[in-house]
A and B are shown apart, each in its own frame.
Chain A
């Protein structure tokens, strides 16, 4: 009898603590956001916490990278593609109780495009010529010309809607319209959000969300194993992912990010300015070896600068297959049969260091001596990105749909090609979806033919969560952990 009572009591205690816990999700993050204002600076870690949770834009990008209605319920686009009329929902309030109206949209966009704005993606707003408030819940935005990517762009974290009343403190106490509101930030440890009970849309199912900052990859493993956190949406240690895969208490999902990992090449430096040399390098790269060696098999090969899950993606991985004989032939054609020496400057992320070491070895097979230099991010940005003082580097370009960077002759690739620049400017003008799609394909082929950079693999998103956690994003078309649809199976 005593045994019976003991077991039943224990059973109920177990149930109680289980249900009490299951409304709060603890999410592991490797990088702490420097501040929580997504409209200034470009740290991806900011969007990982606030995008879709605290702040919303007129439109929202979902986990497949598609544009969905956000703070605009619907919109009309004029036939010339230049003006957009957005219809806003009624009764939406910011977390501090102030009303959301068309005024806030105008304020947010004007602030982002103003002279002296520190918005990292100011170019999104550059085409805007007029912002007209038709009534408090209707706003018309006019562009200089048709811009098919405008809708997607205003779905990015840099274009979320902020209120004039709270904008100055958004960096430390963000106030948005989203399904979760900011509670507190214990710097270096965690950021706490709770359900916005006045949310204008469908109420989120979680009552609280805690983002725990865990920088050390091994600690990410132990924190999950010890039950300190429920999920690590972008698990930092691919080398031990299999341990969670084998454990029935966890689920692993290898998704895609918008991060094209490339062997970025300084096209202005001899001998890399020679197409034959770049082709030799392309043939010397063994993508399978890189993906297995550096990413433990969890990444998709790419042959150009485009996300492989995008409908317009062209598979160009077969253009320059791993072929050392051909690579040597191209080196001879370039007049460098014995190879040469180049610098290979690597930024700190593990993927870059591991991939760089393997590439140095692969290039060594055709006589190219790549001298590795490990840099911190700040040094890398200074030397490689700003001053183009490098030959080769390995880096992941995580911005979505960023093939247009190749049209900027001052970018660190040093690629100045009139034909490619024309393609991008045609894309900017095109209003026909089929034409745009063809142009994107043409752009991908152009940079692959010219082997501007070595195209390696798409960085994976390694999602680990406890069994029963549902609704986490599988992919990172943009860096976001939108928690509105997340719940614990069986807790409701």
Chain B
């Protein structure tokens, strides 16, 4: 287990270093200048140059790369060009919206998908199975932003139960925050639940054909008992893979949902920063996302090892 962890850790560090170089080079190549963006149509060249100097943009690229990376190691991500506050502050504020939203959405999607997958699999070929998988098919096909707009029109503008968007901030009442995240979480969760339930169903079906289930049945367990005691844990492995992928995807990929619900999340921050060429924010967030993806993969690997002891010994 120790060697397994060490190997994983080393590959994590190398991945991150390579990622920072690639991200930095890509961002250097992109045309456009944050100072010129901020000056708009009326700014004189002189004022733009003054602003560039103020923002530290007239340093050599390699100097900026090293000050950025060395700063990051000590936890100093630099100052945002447009907002003029520490990047770390911005990222923390946004993460405090995006991570709870993602977790909320994944909990919802798991709570829906696992039972649906199991029920569907155990009633294979019957009407309930066809109906559930039919609904899941629609869920995969429906774009989440369209579904989000339907939710807003129904629950916000017509019924007035939820506000149409915005986030009160965690210093407000917890319930208010949860409420503000509910419609966005549902919009994110449903398409994911649809995918997940299909994976869950096929995984359960596969597991039920395994030898150990036949053995369990032979020793007298009912089909249901065999599934719950021995099958489910094994059926979870592909589901975990998908969940890990979905977490990374939702963390930054919720941008359209964040826009529709005017949520101050990470996705919108990245998008806005790219448009404004607030490059120091872009490169820091992208690096953090790489870090998050690598970490999640790492955690998923650990979970595999937990559900499947063979992986632990082999690792």
Contact = CB atoms under 8 A, between A and B. Distances in A.
B39 A120 contact: yes
Contact of B32 (A117, A118, A379): A379
Contacts of B260: 216, 218-219
Interface residues of B, number: 54
Interface in B259-291: 259-265, 268-269, 272, 274-278
Nearest to A210: B166
A399 B41 contact: yes
Given A188-B94, A226-B156, A402 B38 contact: no
B123 interface: no
Contacts of B269: 188
Contacts of B54: 40, 118
Contacts of B167: 186, 189
A189 B166 contact: yes
B275 A222 contact: no
Interface in B17-46: 31-34, 36-44, 46
B234 interface: no
A215 B37 CA distance: 18
Nearest to A171: B84
A429 interface: no
A116 B51 CA distance: 8
A35 B261 contact: no
Nearest to A170: B84
A171 B54 CA distance: 13
B50 A379 contact: no
A32 B164 CA distance: 18
A213 interface: yes
A376 B40 CA distance: 13
A40 B167 CA distance: 29
Contacts of B82: 34-35
Given A119-B47, A188-B264, A381-B36, A172 B83 contact: yes
A227 interface: yes
B130 interface: no
Interface in B52-82: 53-54, 82
B262 A216 contact: yes
B275 A377 contact: yes
A186 B92 CA distance: 12
B164 A225 contact: yes
B81 to A, nearest CB: 8
A118 B47 contact: yes
B152 interface: yes
B153 interface: yes
Interface string A204-225: 0000000011111011001101
B85 interface: yes
Interface string B116-146: 0000000000000000000000000000000
A383 B32 CA distance: 9
Interface in B138-187: 149, 152-153, 156-157, 160, 162-167, 169
B301 interface: no
Contact of A122 (B41, B44, B169, B268): B44
Interface in A259-316: none
Contact of A222 (B38, B156, B268): B156
Interface in A16-57: 32, 34-35, 40-44
A369 to B, nearest CB: 25
Contact of B157 (A121, A172, A225): A225
B166 A116 contact: no
A385 B41 CA distance: 7
Interface string A109-121: 0000000111111
A116 B32 contact: no
B216 interface: no
B51 A382 contact: no
Nearest to A213: B262
Interface in A396-424: 397-399, 402
Given A35-B84, A172-B84, A226-B156, A188 B41 contact: no
B50 A117 contact: yes
Contacts of B162: 226
Contacts of B93: 186-188
A226 B160 contact: yes
Given A34-B83, A187-B93, A189-B264, A222 B37 contact: no
A464 to B, nearest CB: 14
Nearest to B149: A218
30 contacts: A34-B82, A34-B83, A34-B276, A42-B42, A43-B40, A118-B51, A171-B83, A186-B93, A186-B167, A188-B269, A189-B169, A189-B262, A213-B262, A214-B262, A215-B259, A215-B262, A219-B165, A219-B259, A219-B261, A222-B152, A222-B153, A222-B165, A225-B164, A226-B163, A228-B156, A228-B164, A377-B37, A379-B32, A381-B36, A381-B40
Interface of A: 32, 34-35, 40-44, 116-123, 171-172, 186-190, 212-216, 218-219, 222-223, 225-228, 348, 376-379, 381-383, 385-386, 395, 397-399, 402
Given A227-B160, A385-B41, 6 more contacts: A40-B51, A186-B93, A189-B169, A189-B264, A223-B164, A226-B162
CB-CB nearest 6 A-B residue pairs: A188-B264, A378-B32, A34-B82, A226-B164, A41-B38, A226-B156
